[in-house]
Every structure is written in C-alpha cells, then in structure tokens.
Amino acid sequence: MNINKKVSHQEKYWDEVAEEKEFPTPFPLEEFKKHIRPEMNILDLGCGYGRTLSELDENGFKNLTGVDYSEQMIKRGLRLHPNFKLIKNNGDDLPFPDNSFDAVLLIGVLTSNIQTEKQKELLSEISRVLKDNGLIYISDFLLNTDERNLQRYQKFKDKYEIYGVFELPEGAVLRHHTIPHVLKLTEDYEKLYFENTIFDTMNGNKSNGFYYIGMKK
C-alpha cells in the first residue's frame, strides 16, 4: 500500500465535491436482508459519506466498516456519523487481512473506475477480503439509449477506447456498462439476485442501472 502516492484526478474531483454531492440511488433494503444478515461483518467499499452504512445501521446492521479513497468524503462521513468505522484508503489494496468480511458492498464504484483491468483488480481484491461463501452486493450504471448519452459515449469513445465512458463538465470521468460486462466481471461469484432498474443520478438525471448480489465460489 503506497501511502505517498500522487493524488489522482478522480480523487481530487471527489475531494472537491465531497460537501455538495448527494447520492440519491435507492438501496433495496428488503431484498438485501433476504441474503445478508444483520450480524454479518460488512464492508462498504467506496462508502463516500456513509449514506448506505447509515441506512444499514438504522436497520440493525452493526458490524459495519467503510473505506473510500476521498479523504474529504471520509471527513464528511465521520462528522455526520462519528461512531462509524470509516477509513481513508490509500492505493489499490484494501487495508484488511484475507477472509475479513462476510459481505462487501460496491455501490457506484465501478462507474468511477473506468478501465476494465482496474475493475477486475478491484473484484479480485474484494474476493481476497471476503470469507468463503461471502457475499458481494453491487449497484451501478448501465448504458443508456437517449440522445444525450449516445452523443457523449461516442464523443469520448476514441479518447478512452471504451464505449460508455464520458466526462462530466465539472471534471469526473465515468463509465456506464453492459450487462454482459457486469456478469463477466462477477464470473467468480454465484449470481443470487439481479435486477434492472432506473436510477436518479447525482446530477439530477435518469440512468439505467442494476442491483446484483452474488456469492463467492
């Protein structure tokens, strides 16, 4: 873990907007509770300011840990929830031993890690810290077919060599995905639940999205 690494463009962006951005994507609590029990040891990877952890805490989940690479997001989260265990993560490796958690949450994180290889490394690292038969919960964004999105997918396709990647005017670089891509990323998990949905985005737009729960094989 390189604690002296240069701050990335994406990290700088999230630090700058940490106090103003709200993440409105709904959390399917009732479906989540069918698979993941309150006594489980849960990690929220990319926890932001602790929005989902707060909802879980309010519903009886107490063994909760959050990590995020944005220092300002973590500071906001600790100010809102001073009793939560929120950790600033440095580098690509998670600061936990193997087999540490019963479940890992990955909410809107793939969209900020646009390179497929980086996404694969992230899933591999999650598998490392998950216990045998551990569970992963993912929600993220899928490709859209409206004209606004089609134009920006095409605009940035050559620059990033990935269809579905685009830049926001304020500086973030994000990615929308296909369902086959998501299922390929999670091929080391047994799919327990998958649902297509439509999300409100942090900038007030609509986007296709999905919920996924899988068990580590």
Contacts (Cβ under 8 Å, ≥6 apart) of 109: 45, 46, 122, 140
State yes or no: pLDDT of 19 exceeds 70.
no
3-state secondary structure of 46: coil
Q: What does the pLDDT read at residue 9?
A: 55
199 domain residue, yes or no: yes
pTM score, whole prediction? 0.91
Q: How many CB atoms lie within 10 A of CB 123?
A: 20
2 domain residue, yes or no: no
93 domain residue, yes or no: yes
State yes or no: pLDDT of 5 exceeds 60.
no
Concatenating the DSSP letter of every residue in 49-78 gives TTHHHHHHHHTT---EEEEES-HHHHHHHH
Residue 105 belongs to domain spanning: 9-216
71 domain residue, yes or no: yes
Give Dmax over CA atoms of the chain in angstroms: 47
61 domain residue, yes or no: yes
State yes or no: pLDDT of 42 exceeds 90.
yes
Instruction: Write the pLDDT tens digit of every residue in 22-36.
Output: 677 889 999 999 999
Instruction: Kindly report the average pLDDT of the chain as a whole number.
Output: 91
Least confident segment among 18-32, 51-65, 112-126, 195-209:
18-32
The number of distinct structural domains making up the chain is: 1
Q: What does the pLDDT read at residue 99?
A: 97
Q: How many CB atoms lie within 10 A of CB 200?
A: 15
Confidence of residue 149 (pLDDT cuts 50, 70, 90): very high
40 domain residue, yes or no: yes
Kindly state the percentage of the chain with pLDDT values over 70.
Answer: 92
Confidence of residue 8 (pLDDT cuts 50, 70, 90): low
User: Which CATH number does the domain housing residue 199 bear?
Assistant: 3.40.50.150
Look at the block and give the residue holding tokens 């707060």.
54
Least confident segment among 178-182, 189-193, 203-207, 209-213:
203-207
State yes or no: pLDDT of 4 exceeds 50.
no
133 domain residue, yes or no: yes
Instruction: Write the pLDDT tens digit of every residue in 106-145.
Output: 999 999 999 999 999 999 999 999 999 999 999 999 999 9
Between 171 and 77, the higher pLDDT residue? 77
Mean of the pLDDT values across residues 193-204? 90
1 domain residue, yes or no: no
